Amino acid sequence: MAAAGEAAPAARRGNVGVIAGASVGTVFEWYDFYLYGSLASFITAHFFSGVNEVTGYIFALLAFAAGFAVRPFGAIVFGRLGDLWGRKNTFLVTMLLMGLSTFVVGLLPSYETIGVAAPILLITLRLVQGLALGGEYGGAATYVAEHAPPGKRGLYTSWIQTTATAGLFLSLIVILVVRAHIGEDAFKAWGWRIPFLVSILLLGVSLWIRLRLNESPVFQQMVDEGKTSKSPLKESFGQWSNLKLVILALAGLTAGQAVVWYTGQFYALFFLERMLKVDGALTNTLVAIALALGTPFFIVFGWLSDKVGRKPVILVGCVVAALTYFPIFKALTEAANPDLAHATARAPVTVIANPADCSFQFDPVGKTVFSSGCDIAKSTLATAGVSYENAAAPPGTSGAIVRVGQVEIASPDAAPADAAARKAEFGKQLGTILTAAGYPAKADPAKVDRPMVVGLLFLLVLYVTMVYGPIAAALVEMFPARIRYTSMSLPYHLGNGWLGGFLPTTAFAMVAATGNIYFGLWYPIAVAAFTAVVGLFFIREMRGNPIEA
């Protein structure tokens, strides 16, 4: 009896060590990854200054998305290694790669110093980060799940799910501390590099903790019994019985989970800062508070999935998010920038132009001159963060008319050589009209309804916890142990790397093309609704599936 009594606390201590060891490294890796997203505006200024402002910001978002683009390839490479030579060894390698590439970002010369080599080197480092992260999550989730007692996999793996939010939260806190300590001017000039550089200290701590972990008992059992897979890729994707599960996991689980995650945590952040013109430091503070309030619910919904199932918790989160995104983001506008909301309602803006004269203003090489009246008008409005509608002018009409309420201003075509000067002149004229109509240049901090903004952001984070808390347990339980690392990593990173990772870029491009600051929300709404339908009819409940070899 005494031995049994001593074994239980020892087991609990062991479980805490497993969760803490897997989680701390994953927190660090997400911290690294989201530093870039939180500092996208500074990245634009220092690495993409050779192109126009709209293109530069889209490029910065594309560089952010590049890390997501390669995550499925990282999942294949490191997933295979994890199934061949162990969970622990693989996620040690991924953490080392990620930490070093993040540290080097803080040392990179800017565009002004080395020209086009600067963005090339930056994107290269982002690709290394993405490859490493593609192998990290599957290893950590599998490692914890294979240690968890039956009936508690959702609870145990939900701690891994908190790491992405905790990493984002940590990155925001570090940014806020550095900004407050050195001031905004210094932060814009060089201080943005500090959060990247201090990551080397976190890397050292994380490596030390993970080196103390033992291998997963399920993997060790497979090694002892000679049951490890000799060809994880062929078994995972070359056999229809397993490939079908991979496809269903993507379409019916991770696709919707991914877009809800990125909408609630990352898109909401730059919607406030970029589109509503809320001060960056204030935006980071409000988002950080919402994340702190919402993070415990990862554990709540992970625990709940052990009781009622993974599928209902995840799919309800997708459905509720799809139904409420538009009212939530419109309420964010009212709460964060009421002057903008009132001006938009009182004096809506319309661009009247021949559609043939309106370009999609994305210039990859920075050489195209957008000189039509329509392009000048739309670029000026986009820079000002003003939402507008489009109306077609009669065929043969040249230039454009911008209507602000009942006031109209002409935006004539310009010669390419005169486009910059014409845009500056038009910007001053339009700015006067917008100011008179009540459109603010920036959100007034005194008018930001902080409790309401935090409450709305918390609601978005709550949706995130619903879809993300149970996802690791659901994926682990879908696939056999011998190919689990490979099989679960690919659909997770296809969903989160491609459908989720490209959400900010896609949504911003949709907004830029239409002029409607809410139009980009159709992307996550459509994907979340699709996942809810596929998951409802084609996904079998996973709770309680055996996961041993």
Residues 6+ apart with CB under 8 A from 133: 29, 33, 67, 71, 74, 94, 98
Q: Which CATH number fits domain 7-337+445-538: 3.40.50.300, 3.40.50.1820, 1.20.1250.20, 3.40.50.720?
A: 1.20.1250.20
- 412: exposed, middle or buried (Cβ count in 10 Å: 0-12, 13-18, 19+): middle
How far apart are the C-alpha atoms of 154 and 527, rounded to whole Å? 24
Q: What is the DSSP string of 118-162?
A: HHHHHHHHHHHHHHHHHHHHHHHHHHHHTTSPTT-HHHHHHHHHH
- Indicate the angle between helix axes 471-478 and 310-336, nearest 10 degrees: 150
57, two tokens: 């910001």
- Nearest Cα to 360, choosing from 372, 342, 345, 352? 372
Residues 6+ apart with CB under 8 A from 176: 281, 284, 285, 288
Q: What is the DSSP string of 164-182?
A: HHHHHHHHHHHHHHHHHHH
341-436 domain in CATH 3.40.30?
A: yes
- 225: exposed, middle or buried (Cβ count in 10 Å: 0-12, 13-18, 19+): exposed
pLDDT at 299: 95
Chain-centroid distance, C-alpha 97: 20
| DSSP reduced 3-state for 473 | helix
pLDDT in tens, the chain (549 residues): 344 344 344 444 456 777 777 777 677 767 876 787 678 778 777 877 666 665 666 666 667 667 777 888 888 888 888 777 667 778 788 888 888 888 898 898 988 888 878 888 888 888 888 888 887 777 778 888 888 888 899 999 998 888 877 887 788 888 889 988 998 889 988 999 999 998 888 888 878 877 777 777 777 777 777 777 778 888 888 889 889 999 999 999 999 999 999 899 889 988 998 889 999 889 988 988 998 899 999 999 999 999 999 999 999 999 999 999 999 999 999 999 999 999 999 999 999 998 888 876 555 444 556 778 888 888 888 777 788 999 998 887 888 999 999 999 998 888 877 777 888 898 899 999 999 999 998 999 999 999 999 999 999 999 999 999 999 999 999 988 788 888 888 898 888 878 887 787 788 778 877 888 899 999 999 999 999 999 999 999 988 777 765
pLDDT at 367: 54
C-beta separation of 381 from 402 below 8 A: yes
Chain-centroid distance, C-alpha 525: 16
- 341: exposed, middle or buried (Cβ count in 10 Å: 0-12, 13-18, 19+): middle
> Tokens 């000799």 map to which residue?
230
Residue type, 466: M
Domains 7-337+445-538 and 341-436 fall in the same CATH topology: no
How far apart are the C-alpha atoms of 252 and 495, rounded to whole Å? 10
C-beta separation of 194 from 200 below 8 A: no
Distances (CA, A) of 86 to 71, 91, 361: 20, 9, 48
- 204: exposed, middle or buried (Cβ count in 10 Å: 0-12, 13-18, 19+): exposed
C-beta separation of 463 from 298 below 8 A: no
pLDDT at 61: 65
Distances (CA, A) of 357 to 78, 203, 400, 412, 509: 48, 52, 9, 11, 18
- Nearest Cα to 503, choosing from 263, 255, 164? 263
pLDDT at 3: 40
> Tokens 């739309």 map to which residue?
378
C-beta separation of 529 from 322 below 8 A: yes
C-beta separation of 218 from 86 below 8 A: no
Domain boundaries, the chain: 7-337+445-538, 341-436
How far apart are the C-alpha atoms of 291 and 297, rounded to whole Å? 10
| DSSP reduced 3-state for 496 | helix
